[in-house]
Amino acid sequence: MIVILHQQQDANLVEKELERYAVAINFNWNDASQAKLLAMEFKDFDEDKAQKFLSSGDRFLMSKANFFGLARTMLELMGDGAKEGVHIHGGNVWKSFAKELYKL
């Protein structure tokens, strides 16, 4: 039971950071078209792009790379929870982004 609690707490922390980076990249999570575009970009975001964005010195690109890294972390948390039969909940930012991601 403690592991489950920690996984949800971790997801809550990731959600807070996702929200912070969403603001930094001007992502309005109430706009499905923005969520879809961001999800499409995420699908093609690889390690090389991450390194380029993070080393660019451009705060917008660095924030986007961090958002995508957190999205991967959330996917892992949810996957780990599912393996244990536990439903891990994300917040509004995650739900908006993931809804469009799962449609792709």
pLDDT digits (tens, 9 = 90+) for 58-84: 999 999 999 999 999 999 999 999 998
Q: According to the model, what pLDDT value does residue 5 have?
A: 64
- Which two three-digit tokens encode residue 19? 């929200």
DSSP state letters, 2-23:
HHHHHHHHHHHHHHHHHHHHHH
Q: Is the pLDDT of residue 4 over 80?
A: no
Q: How far is CA 10 from CA 54, 61, 73, in A?
A: 23, 25, 10
